[in-house]
A and B are shown apart, each in its own frame.
Chain A
């Protein structure tokens, strides 16, 4: 059927397409028609514009003042990096760059102890306020997997997964501080790319390293040490701002 000759049907399909409720085969058919016919394409664009206005209709809310601080810091960190790596754009690209730098560093350091080797990258994070502790946790593959920052002011530990490792459904990753007195649990990680945990500064300061173990789902019971293998480990550095 030639829908460009049936204006009511075309209008309805274009509106459903722009709303997003036109799915599956119907959506794909509409898309190929739009590629072939300028009338169909135009109608789709009109409705996309109309629906886009939906994003303007939510009531205002006030974000925390930290949000601007974070944006400002990231923009400035990007500028600081721009000289060295002009292509850097955005946080994910920044992390990717860090990961690559780390791998280069590792290539250069071949021969050093590979198991649970430790590297620290502080450059982009120095621009962030209040971040005073940083660690990059790496495993046997000698690839950075988890980036940890601790902001003692907000008691917030932030973990970012920068490698491809994802635990199985029935398992959890657990973060440990490794003081001389023995491992202390800092919490169990969710499956998100970014995980936030709460910790006190006295749980972190004077701790030389952090580690991540693979545990049964939900982690080991309180008071016990790690029961599974240590997957990633890294030294903890206190950055001076």
Chain B
């Protein structure tokens, strides 16, 4: 896990998983293990950010790799960098989890709040990690860096946790008007920046 695997290596692993046939799954299982070793830390970091509990994030990661195992054959059509494709799957499993919980528990926000204030305070200077990121992610990273810490936090939480302006205001304990301004300015800045890079 020390050297970041290249996109081509990850793609080759996904294709080995997709190529399995009934009764001949050994190679696919080895490929899944290699894919897991190369990417689990990354996907777990993402899951943890979305669901904010280690136990639950581990359940999300488990579901994510089982999904990857199942839908590896769709990767070719996705046209995305492998880690982004896997990231989107993980986010979607994590959001399923949050929705399930939100419908079951009313105290969800209380729990999330604590974690959010932690991440806002703890990681504000540079919460991002491009060690394994695709070119596309690197461009987004460069553009997000141009935002103020809090704007960046609001934009990335809006996406990662699929939050509305109102939910963001509640979780970040910030007036709705401020959230709307941050998101609007954040998106303006991203639009200009991404437009010039990509």
Interface residues of A, Cβ cutoff 8 Å to B: 11-12, 15-16, 19-21, 23, 49-64, 66-68, 70-72, 74-76, 79, 82, 86, 89-91, 190-194, 196
B133 within 8 A of A: yes
Contact, CB under 8 Å: B83 / A56: yes
Chain A contacts for B140, CB-based, 8 A: 50-51, 53-54, 57
B183 within 8 A of A: yes
Contact, CB under 8 Å: B61 / A19: no
11 A-B pairs (CB sep. < 8 Å): A54-B159, A57-B133, A57-B141, A58-B129, A60-B41, A61-B48, A63-B61, A64-B54, A71-B62, A75-B66, A90-B67
Total A-B residue contacts, Cβ distance less than 8 Å: 165
Contact, CB under 8 Å: B22 / A82: yes
Closest 7 CB pairs of A and B: A55-B87, A60-B41, A53-B137, A56-B137, A58-B45, A63-B44, A57-B128
Pick from B49, B58, B80: contact of A67, CB under 8 Å: B58
Min C-beta distance of A123 to chain B, whole Å = 18
Interface residues of B, Cβ cutoff 8 Å to A: 22, 25, 29, 32-33, 36, 40-42, 44-46, 48-49, 54-55, 57-59, 61-63, 65-67, 69-70, 80-81, 83-84, 87-88, 90-91, 100-101, 104-105, 127-134, 136-137, 139-141, 144, 155-156, 158-160, 162-165, 183, 187-188, 190-191, 194-195, 198
* Complex-state Cα separation, A97 to B92, whole angstroms: 24
A57-B144 in contact given A74-B62, A192-B105 (Cβ < 8 Å): yes
* Complex-state Cα separation, A15 to B193, whole angstroms: 13
Contact, CB under 8 Å: B49 / A71: no
Contact, CB under 8 Å: B62 / A75: no
A67-B40 in contact given A59-B127, A61-B48 (Cβ < 8 Å): yes
**Mostly helix, strand, loop or mixed at chain A's interface?**
helix
Chain A contacts for B57, CB-based, 8 A: 63
Min C-beta distance of A59 to chain B, whole Å = 4
Contact, CB under 8 Å: A52 / B80: yes
* Complex-state Cα separation, A74 to B36, whole angstroms: 14
A55-B62 in contact given A60-B45, A61-B45 (Cβ < 8 Å): no
A89-B163 in contact given A55-B90, A67-B58 (Cβ < 8 Å): no
Contact, CB under 8 Å: A51 / B61: no
Chain B contacts for A72, CB-based, 8 A: 29, 33
Which of B40, B100, B144, B162 is packed against the most chain A CB atoms within 10 Å? B40
Chain A contacts for B104, CB-based, 8 A: 190-193
A90-B137 in contact given A63-B57, A72-B33, A192-B104 (Cβ < 8 Å): no
Contact, CB under 8 Å: A50 / B91: no
Which of B84, B101, B188 is packed against the most chain A CB atoms within 10 Å? B84
* Complex-state Cα separation, A68 to B36, whole angstroms: 8
* Complex-state Cα separation, A227 to B70, whole angstroms: 45
A71-B80 in contact given A56-B137, A59-B45 (Cβ < 8 Å): no
